[in-house]
Amino acid sequence: MKQSPWLAFSIDRRAKAPIFEQICSGLRKAIIAGELTEGTRLPPTRAFATELGVSRSTVVTAYEQLVAEGYLSSRQGSGYRVCAIGEVERLRPARRRKDTADQGQAGPPLPFEPSQPDMRLFPYRQWARAVSRLCRTDPRSMLEGGSRLGNAELREAIADHVAQWRGIDVAPGQIIVTAGSTDALEICLRTLAEAGDTIALEDPGYPPLRHFAKNHGLMAEYLKIDDGGALLPRAGSAARLAVLTPSHQYPLGGAMSPGRRLEFLAWAREHDGWIIEDDYDSEFRYAGRPIPAMAGFDQLDRTIYVGSFSKIFSNALRLGYIVAPEALVDRLAATLGRFGLKASYMPQPALAAFMQSGEFYRHLRRVRRIYGERRKFLIERLRHDFADHGHVVDHQAGMQLVFHLADGLDDAEIARRAAARGVCVRPLSAFSIRDTGHNGLILGFCGFSEDEMAPALDVLKACITGR
């Protein structure tokens, strides 16, 4: 155990609780007990990290979590200080755990499970204030719903969001709120394709999309991926609908080249076809601003844009959206009428208020910075410690990356070994429907601190080397 001389609590690396949570817990208890009084300045993150023998980013994560909970305040140049105790909730006594585990309760994600946001960074107090304010001022809006296309204020906030972040100029009337991106994709496919139709899908690509297409009798033409992105459907193809991830290909990572985008748009116009742009995590770009969406490039002529709040805000809300060309809004609404609505109305007005207040964007900027530090750590470790076993390509975007394995290594076998030892890596080969020769490991980094990833990397290396 490593104990801080500044404050009487210890870090136990053998404990199940992540290190940053141990730091949070120690500071919370000290504040509530009065050991740290209002206005007390906490030690600088670098100095405190040195005292505890942990990474600086772990201390930053702990401090920022306590800022989000209202225990600390932060101002540039003045560090972190303790808030008045009246601004925070006192801890409730912990409930005694039952000996029998709840079979329906999902455990925390395992390193390096892909596409996992770190819900420990969620702005719980700010979100609670937004919900509480709405419950006081307009509770009916959370229960009575409204248009089948979604809450009007949320659709307006989404229109502002995609205009600012994705370069899409759209009216709120062209926004449809869905129960996540998978629901949005299903609505689009039900509207634009019938059993027996051919659709073009990326290979490797998103497995649930393949399963949905197969279950609904759609024929898939699989598009190979090269350095410019997905290749166009072959000459004479019956496909009139393509589902693409142009800003950040899933799962390989790269962005589609401008030339290839133009070729796809020309293909859609020539064949009276449609492109569904699945933009699942484009806000997480760590160098410069996000790449403009194809839908903005196209001015919503032949492109339907699908987005989600699951990755950038909370996967528990199950909210996503469709940005539709005007010509398709009525057809998509008719599909909703036939198959029913899945998106819950209750969180929609609260999310709209949260976005309009600016708290949503403060959260987005904060987690993007933290995720960027975690990504940098993982890439450096892979390049330094795993160079003999493969290579990683840094696309400076996304929530996961691919470690391409050297010849002679089997990604599926390594993934099985890792799973048996509590580490979740996905084999790249499982995302391909054909024998594309892709052999690698998909590693998520957003949901895990550096101190959680470090021992998991040691386990992964042992799985690769067979030790």
More confident residue, 140 or 457: 457
Could you state, in order of their start, the residue ranges of all structural domains in the chain? 2-91, 128-359, 370-465
- Provide the pLDDT for residue 107: 59
Position 435 scores a pLDDT of 76
Q: What is the spatial distance between Cα 255 and Cα 448, in angstroms, rounded to a whole number?
A: 25
Class of domain 128-359: alpha beta
Confidence bin at 88 (pLDDT 50/70/90): very low
Q: Which of 147-151, 280-284, 325-329, 338-342 has the lowest mean pLDDT?
A: 280-284
| 3-state class percentages of the chain: helix first, strand second, coil last, to nearest 5 | 45, 15, 40
Q: What is the pLDDT of residue 91?
A: 41
Residue 95: which pLDDT band, with cuts at 50, 70 and 90?
very low
Neighbouring residues of 116: CB distance < 8 A, sequence distance ≥ 6: 109, 399, 444, 446, 447, 448
Model pLDDT, residue 89: 43
pLDDT at 99 over 60: no
Average pLDDT, the chain: 88
pLDDT at 310: 87
Q: Rounded CA gap, 13 and 1, in Å?
A: 7
Q: What is the pLDDT of residue 362?
A: 93
In angstroms, rounded to a whole number, what is the distance separating the alpha carbons of residues 78 and 402? 39
335-348 CB burial, b ≥16 within 10 A, e <16: bbeeeebebebebb
User: Between the ranges 84-88, 114-118, 229-233, where is the mean pLDDT highest?
Assistant: 229-233
Q: pTM (2 decimals)?
A: 0.79
User: Does the domain made of 370-465 have the CATH classification 3.90.1150.10?
Assistant: yes
CATH architecture of the domain with residue range 2-91: Orthogonal Bundle (1.10)
Q: Looking at residue 72, what is its pLDDT?
A: 85
Pair 171, 159: CB distance under 8 Å: yes
pLDDT band at 32 (very low <50, low <70, confident <90, very high): confident
Cα distance between residue 201 and residue 178, in whole Å: 22
Domains 2-91 and 128-359 share a fold: no
Grade residue 293 by pLDDT with cuts at 50, 70 and 90.
very high
pLDDT at 18 over 50: yes
Residues in the chain: 467
Lowest mean pLDDT segment, chosen from 88-92, 223-227, 231-235, 355-359? 88-92
> What Rg do the C-alpha atoms of the chain give, in angstroms?
24
Burial class (CB in 10 A: 0-12, 13-18, 19+), 27: buried
pLDDT-derived band at 370 (thresholds 50, 70, 90) equals very high
Model confidence at 369, in pLDDT bands (50, 70, 90)?
very high
> Which band of pLDDT confidence, cut at 50, 70 and 90, is reported for residue 30?
confident
Q: What is the mean pLDDT of residues 207-229?
A: 93
Mean pLDDT of 171-184: 95
For residue 242, list its beta bridge partners. 200, 275
